Structure 1
C-alpha cells in the first residue's frame, strides 16, 4: 500500500506502508505534516494539502487533509489520528509539541519592535495605513496588554527588560548609549538570559543589543546568551551593516554633530566580515538565523529567544542615501497607494510591512518545528514612535504615529511610554481578550519565570517587577501592580509615575524636560486630517480620548510645573488636574521623592575618541577589551544561511 501526498507546489510524496501498518503510518505522516516536513522531507510545506491512500491495485482506501488534520477518512468512516511524539503524547492542534516531553518547560520568544508607535500596528487603532495581519492574529488570540509601559528610549527599556529592575536602580535612566561611549548595563546585575540558562534553557539573542560593548564583558555572550547574532549598537544600515550616526565629542569641543560610520555585524562577539555576508537585507539575515536555531534545536530542551529586531527603526543612516525597504514591501497596496506627499511616512509604513513579515516567519518556524503548543510569545515596542518634528533630535527620520496619544519617543508623555503589546500561548487558559491592568516592562521577568514553572527564590533580589501570570490565567483585568515609575532621570531632569487609587482612578504625574522645552503636544498621523475616519477601522482596544483629539482642555507645561492626569477618563492627557486636585498631586510628588531616594547615579560617560571607528579599520569594536580585534580563534559555528527554509 502507498500514501500519495500532493501539496500546493504540485510535488508528489510516496511513502511505502507495510501490511497492517496503515494506522501507524498515518500517525507518523500526520505528525510530519503538522511540522511541515512530510515523510522526513528536507523542504517545508504550507497551504492546503491532501493525502490519498491507495492499495497496491490502485483502489482508493482513505484520505487525510489539512481541513481534518486529526482524522483520516475511509469511505464514510472517520478514524481519529493519534499524532506521534517522542512520548507518544496526543495532540489535537496543528503545530503541536511534537517531540516535547511531558512536563517540559515552555519555550519563550520575546519579540521587541524598535520605535514602533501606538498607532503603527492595526490591532491598536485600526490603522489602515499599516495592516499587520500576522501580528494582529496572535494579538487577538492572545491577551492584549492595553496599558503596557516602557522607558521612552531604547537602551533603558532593554536594560529594564533584561534585569527586571527600574532603570534608576541600575544606572541606565538617562539616555541611549552613543557610539564610542564607554559604559553599559553594569555587569553586577544578572540578566533574564542568565536566569533562564541556569534552569536549562538554550538562550539566543538576535538583532539589536545597545546596552554596552566597550569590553566583551558587556556583549551578549557574557550576559547569559549562548548564541548572539546582530549589531551591538543602536542601529545599522540594512545592507552593509554599518552604524551611521551623528555624534558630538564634548571633550574635544565639537560645536556640531559629526557623522561617523563603521561596520557592526557580529556573531558571538566576533566580526562577520564582508566576505562572509554583505548586501543581504538585515531583517532577512535575522530571520534566517532564527529559523536555523529553532529548526536545529533539540526538542527535548527549551529555548529562550530574545528577538530584538531593528524594525521599524528607519532613521539610522545620517546620509539618507540607502534604500531601507525592499520592493516586495514597497509594492504592497497600502504602501504603494500611500501619498508621495509624505515620503518619510511612506518609508515607515513600508518598514512596518517588514516587521509583520518578520513576525510571521518566527511564528512559522515554531509551527514547523512542532512546538508551538509549548511556546510563549511576547510582543512589544521598546518605546513610543518618534514624531516627525523631533526625528533629528532622537537620531532618526522615523515618522511614526502615536495618535491620539500625546508626545512620542524621548518623552514621558503617553505617546513615548505606552506601547503596543500582547502575550500569546496555548498555555494561557483565558485568552482572546484585552486587559487594562497596569503592566511595566520590568514585569516580564517574574511573569515569564512563573509561566515556565521556575522557582521564584532563584530570581534576582530587589526586583521591581510583578508576576501577572495568575491574572493572565484566571482572566482577571485586575493585576498585581498598582503603581509604576515611568522614570526618574536627575541628569535629564525628567520624571513621571502612575498610581491607581482605591477607587480605580489612574493618576499620572509628569514633570521636567520635554525635548527642548518648546512643545509637548500631539501629532496627527501623517496623511490624515482631523475628523476624517477613513484612514482607520474600528478596534475594540483603540484609545478613546473622551474629548476632541489633540485639543488641550487645561494646559500642561511640564518643564514649568508638574502636571497631573487621570488616565482612565483622559488617556490622551488633555486635561491637567494639578490645580483642581492638589492633594493627589502632593501624594504622587511624595511617592516620587521616596523612589528617588532609592536611585543610583547614572553610569553614562562621554564619548572616548579611542573607540571611534576610524581607529579600528572602520569597525565598531570593544576597544577597551584585551582582545578588541578578535585575535582569539573562533570557537563557534560561523555564519550560515537558514536550513529551515
Structure 2
C-alpha cells in the first residue's frame, strides 16, 4: 500500500469532488500572493488547529457534498490530506485525546460526554497541549468550545495552559443567546461575558482579532474549536436564505451552519495572509466525530456520530503549510487524534515529558504526514468502554457491540457481538469476517482486552439533569 500518494488534478477532483476545481492557482502555490511570504515570522511555526463539531464525512463541497464551502475547498486544495484519520465517537473524548495525547480510557472520559452538571472534568494530573506548547515558548489561545470540564476554576482553559480563552464550556448552547439549560455559557479569559451575536461569527471575530494583534516574534498556538454544526440547528437568516430549496428545517439550518462556519474559516485564513505569516503557519482542520444522520451525510462510510463504525470515528482531515507540506498529497496511513499532541509538540521543539510519568498513546506522526513514511502505529485503540470497544491492527478492525452508541448508559449486555472487517478490502464495513477468520478474531479480541484491562473507571452520567441539581447563573462560575 502506498504510504503517501501525490495525485494529479483530475484524480483529486475525482477523489474529493468537483468543488475542488474552485481552488484555481491554490493547487500549485497555496493560492498565496507573494506578499504573504514576507513579514514577521518566528523560527517555530505558528499552529492554527481548526476543529468542526459533528461534521459529516461527505458534507463539504470538496468532498462532493451538498453544502457551499468555498473557503474550506480552497484550503483543502492546498493541503496534504489524511485519508484515514481517526477520532473518538463523541465530543469530549476527542477533545481530551487532542489535549493529552492519551486515550480517554486512561482518565475516565471514554464513555459519553462531560455534561453541564458533571462533577468531573479532564483530570488535573493530565498535561495538556496548551501547557506543553506554552512551555515551548508559544502564546496559547482557545476560541470556541472547551467541553473538558468546568467544575471549578482549576478545570478551565486558563488554568490548563491557555493564555487566552474565549467561548463556551459545554456543547449544545443556543447560538444566539449563549444559554445552555438556563445558564450563560459564554466567557472571555474564563470570566462570564454577556455579548450579542451568533456564536460562529463571534468565534471567528475573536480569532481574527488575536491574529491581528499578536506579536509574531513569539509563535502562536490558536485552537479554534467551533461548536458548529452541532445542534441546536440554528443559523442567521442570510445563510438560511441560501438553502431555500431544502424543505426539512433541521437540514436547512445544518447546511446554513456549515456555510457560516466556512465563511468564518475564510476570515481566519485571510487574517493570517494579511499578517504575512502564512509561510510559517501550519493550519490543521478536522471534525471531532462523524455527523448525525438526521442532518448530515457520512457516505460512503458506515455509521454516524456515537458509533464505532467508520462513519462515527473516521473524519476528513488535512494540513496546510506552504513550502513544507505538498498540496494534493493523500496520506493513506492510519493515524489518530492522540498523535496530534506529540506531533505538534515535537514540531514546536517542546518536551513530551508527562506529569507523573504518564505515557503517551499518541506517536509523532510528522514523518508520516510530511514524508509518506508508514504509520508509527501497529495498532490503534479506537475506544473501549464498559459496554463496547473497537481496535484497528493494520488492515484489520474489530468492533465489539457496534450497535451501542457512545452515550449508552444502560444495563450491561448479556451477550457481546463481535464484528471483524478487513478495511483494505472492505472500507465500508459491509462484510463481517469473524466467522471466516476465527484466528484473526481471537488475536484482535486479545488486543482489545489488553486495553480494557488497563482502563480506569468511566465517568458515566445520566443523560438528564438530576432534579436536585442547582443551576448556576453562569456555567463554570458557581459564585457568579
Residue 512, structure 1, aligned to residue 401, structure 2: yes
**Superimposed CA distance per residue, residues 504-559 of structure 1 (whole angstroms, 9 cap, x where no aligned partner):** xx111001262489xxxxxxxxxxxxxxxxxxxxxxxxxxxxxxxxxxxxxxx997
TM-score, normalising length: structure 2: 0.87
- Find the aligned partners of 1:592 and 1:402 in 2 and give their Cα distance: 26
Verify the 8 A CA contact 1:183 1:604 in the aligned structure 2.
no
Alpha-carbon distance, 1:620 to partner? 2.4
Residue 619, structure 1, aligned to residue 477, structure 2: no
- Find the aligned partners of 2:405 and 2:133 in 1 and give their Cα distance: 41
Alpha-carbon distance, 1:605 to partner? 5.2
Residue 148, structure 1, aligned to residue 85, structure 2: yes
Q: Which of the numbers 156, 163, 175 marks the counterpart of 2:100?
A: 163
- Which residue number corresponds to residue 297 of structure 1? 214
SS in 2 for 1:619: coil
For 1:121-270, list aligned pairs within 5 A.
121-124=60-63, 126-127=64-65, 129-243=66-180, 260-270=181-191
Q: Which of the numbers 322, 326, 330 marks the counterpart of 2:236?
A: 326
- Find the aligned partners of 1:377 and 1:211 in 2 and give their Cα distance: 23
- Find the aligned partners of 2:138 and 2:467 in 1 and give their Cα distance: 39
Residue 470, structure 1, aligned to residue 407, structure 2: no
SS in 1 for 2:425: coil
For 1:6-405, list aligned pairs within 5 A.
93-101=34-42, 104-124=43-63, 126-127=64-65, 129-243=66-180, 260-273=181-194, 277-278=195-196, 280-315=197-232, 324-332=234-242, 335-336=243-244, 338-340=245-247, 342-388=248-294, 399-405=295-301
Alpha-carbon distance, 1:331 to partner? 2.9
SS in 1 for 2:333: coil
Verify the 8 A CA contact 1:510 1:558 in the aligned structure 2.
no
- Find the aligned partners of 2:87 and 2:58 in 1 and give their Cα distance: 16
- Which residue number corresponds to residue 78 of structure 1? none
Alpha-carbon distance, 1:238 to partner? 1.3
- Which residue number corresponds to residue 643 of structure 1? none
Alpha-carbon distance, 1:236 to partner? 1.2
Alpha-carbon distance, 1:186 to partner? 0.4
SS in 2 for 1:148: strand
- Find the aligned partners of 1:288 and 1:516 in 2 and give their Cα distance: 35
Verify the 8 A CA contact 1:180 1:609 in the aligned structure 2.
no
- Which residue number corresponds to residue 318 of structure 2? 422
Verify the 8 A CA contact 2:80 2:319 in the aligned structure 1.
yes
- Find the aligned partners of 2:220 and 2:341 in 1 and give their Cα distance: 15
Aligned residues: 440
Verify the 8 A CA contact 2:135 2:350 in the aligned structure 1.
no
**Superimposed CA distance per residue, residues 114-169 of structure 1 (whole angstroms, 9 cap, x where no aligned partner):** 00011111233x12x11322112222221111111111000111011100000101
Q: Which of the numbers 397, 402, 424 marks the counterpart of 1:568?
A: 424
- Find the aligned partners of 2:169 and 2:77 in 1 and give their Cα distance: 33
Verify the 8 A CA contact 1:184 1:212 in the aligned structure 2.
yes
- Find the aligned partners of 2:477 and 2:418 in 1 and give their Cα distance: 41
Computing the radius of gyration from Cα coordinates, the structure with the larger value is 1
Report which of the two has the higher share of helix: 2
602-611 vs 171-180, which moves further: 602-611
- Find the aligned partners of 2:38 and 2:113 in 1 and give their Cα distance: 39
Alpha-carbon distance, 1:462 to partner? 0.6
Verify the 8 A CA contact 2:79 2:325 in the aligned structure 1.
no
Alpha-carbon distance, 1:190 to partner? 0.8
- Find the aligned partners of 2:172 and 2:164 in 1 and give their Cα distance: 19
Unaligned segments of structure 2, at least 5 residues: 1-31, 407-412
- Residues 401, 330 of structure 1: CA spacing in aligned structure 2 closer, same or farther, 3 A cutoff? same
Verify the 8 A CA contact 2:132 2:351 in the aligned structure 1.
no
Alpha-carbon distance, 1:231 to partner? 0.9
For 1:471-486, list aligned pairs within 5 A.
471-476=368-373, 478-486=374-382
Alpha-carbon distance, 1:474 to partner? 2.0
Q: CA RMSD in A?
A: 2.3
Alpha-carbon distance, 1:424 to partner? 0.8
- Find the aligned partners of 2:93 and 2:323 in 1 and give their Cα distance: 30
- Find the aligned partners of 2:97 and 2:427 in 1 and give their Cα distance: 24
- Residues 373, 596 of structure 1: CA spacing in aligned structure 2 closer, same or farther, 3 A cutoff? same
Alpha-carbon distance, 1:484 to partner? 0.6
- Residues 331, 425 of structure 1: CA spacing in aligned structure 2 closer, same or farther, 3 A cutoff? same
TM-score, normalising length: structure 1: 0.65
- Find the aligned partners of 1:589 and 1:114 in 2 and give their Cα distance: 31
Alpha-carbon distance, 1:573 to partner? 0.8
- Find the aligned partners of 2:198 and 2:150 in 1 and give their Cα distance: 24
Structure with greater contact order relative to length (CA < 8 Å, sep ≥ 6):
2
SS in 2 for 1:237: coil
